[in-house]
Amino acid sequence: MLHWVLSAFLLLLFMAPAVAQQVITFDPSLNEFPEGVAIDKSGNIWVTIQPLCQVRRYSPDYVEMLRVNLVSGPCLGANGLAVDANGTAFAAVVTPDAATRGVYQIEPWGEFHRLPGTGAIVYANGLALDRHNGNLYVTDFIRGAIWRVPHGGPAELWTEGGPLVGNLPLPPGFPPFNFPLGANGIVFYEDALIVAVTFAPRLVRVPVYPDGSAGAPGILTPPPAFIAKGIFALDGLALDVHGNFYVASPAGRLVTRVSRDGSDVSIAASVAEGITAAPLSLAFGTGKGERQSIFVTINQSYGGAGSGLARVPIGVPGLPLP
């Protein structure tokens, strides 16, 4: 009997909703609204501050170590982040000027430059590194596309259209939007890129062929699977060691879990567990004691209250960085 009770307790404990803890707080009165997050192999946390076109790096114990202003002129936002094995960060930046928008490379000591050709990206959003050859992939939110930036080479349009375009088709009863909000969060998994499309919410799989070309995008998880769970928008994307996907769902203040085959959608954390504002991006921890937690940027400008970075225990490690 004791063995049965203990087993039942452990099962309930594992299934219990994760409780979020806000570990970094930003000040909305100073236009500090976080968007992207990436964590390097040393456990340092990189965050983009959206309206300031700013990138900050924090130590594993949440002390600010670096602050970089990427653009001095008008800025529409600093978005997704990625970080490589050397601790170099990459940040997506959107401005009204093709001379300043694109993707910026930031060295650990703060020096930065814009990657060639990325000014052609209409709305750079999510970033993913290919662990095999160092290619950087960038989602184009408005165009519904993915760009590839080869190591040392200029950006090139890799694939576009089809299910990567937002709002097409809209499910019955879904509110209309005046412009497409498409390809957003992105991860590299096995021999494919997985992309979260914002409206109508879906996960899309794009094969990466051995010659580097893109296969036809196909829907992994369709809109009805998300809408049935009250999930109406998708943003950032992360991946655990078992191939499960975790998606920031800002409209409902949810962190959503999707099985590796795309068939099962569940809620990993919600308002009840401490997601007090709209979650936009997420990344698994890499430091000691943090590998089974997801760090989530929460942003009250998209709903809710609070501006910061929340730590959500998940109970499973994230996929190792490239």
The token pair that represents 243 in the structure block:
């191939």
The CATH number covering residue 182 comes to 2.120.10.30
3-state class (DSSP) for residue 41: coil
pLDDT at 5: 42
Residue with tokens 């910061």: 308
- Does an H or E element contain 302, and which? strand 293-304
Domains held by the chain: number:
1
Asked whether residue 320 is assigned to any structural domain, the reply reads no
**Domain extent for 56:** 18-313
Asked whether residue 200 is assigned to any structural domain, the reply reads yes
Burial class (CB in 10 A: 0-12, 13-18, 19+), 154: exposed
Contact 78, 52 (CB under 8 A): yes
Nearby residues of 136 by Cβ (< 8 Å), 6 or more positions away: 82, 90, 103, 115, 127, 128, 129, 130, 148, 149, 151
The mean pLDDT value for 91-107 works out to 96
Q: Output 133 or 56, whichever has higher pLDDT.
A: 56
pLDDT of 170 above 80: no
Alpha-carbon span 286 to 73, nearest angstrom: 34
pTM, two decimals, is 0.92
The mean pLDDT value for 121-130 works out to 96
Residue 316 φ then ψ, to 5°: -145, 140
The pLDDT confidence band at residue 274, using thresholds 50, 70 and 90, is: very high
Asked whether residue 283 is assigned to any structural domain, the reply reads yes
Alpha-carbon span 67 to 45, nearest angstrom: 12
The mean pLDDT value for 75-79 works out to 94
CA torsion 37-134-196-71 (nearest 10°) is: 50
The pLDDT confidence band at residue 9, using thresholds 50, 70 and 90, is: very low
pLDDT of 199 above 60: yes
DSSP string, 280-300: EEEEE--STTTTTEEEEEEEE
The pLDDT confidence band at residue 73, using thresholds 50, 70 and 90, is: confident
Asked whether residue 234 is assigned to any structural domain, the reply reads yes
The sign of the dihedral angle between the CA atoms of 151, 60, 239, 185 is: negative
The pLDDT confidence band at residue 14, using thresholds 50, 70 and 90, is: very low
Alpha-carbon span 157 to 37, nearest angstrom: 24
pLDDT at 3: 46
pLDDT at 17: 57
Asked whether residue 13 is assigned to any structural domain, the reply reads no
pLDDT at 8: 41
Asked whether residue 194 is assigned to any structural domain, the reply reads yes
Asked whether residue 3 is assigned to any structural domain, the reply reads no
Q: Output 4 or 265, whichever has higher pLDDT.
A: 265
Asked whether residue 9 is assigned to any structural domain, the reply reads no
- Across the chain, what does the average pLDDT equal? 91
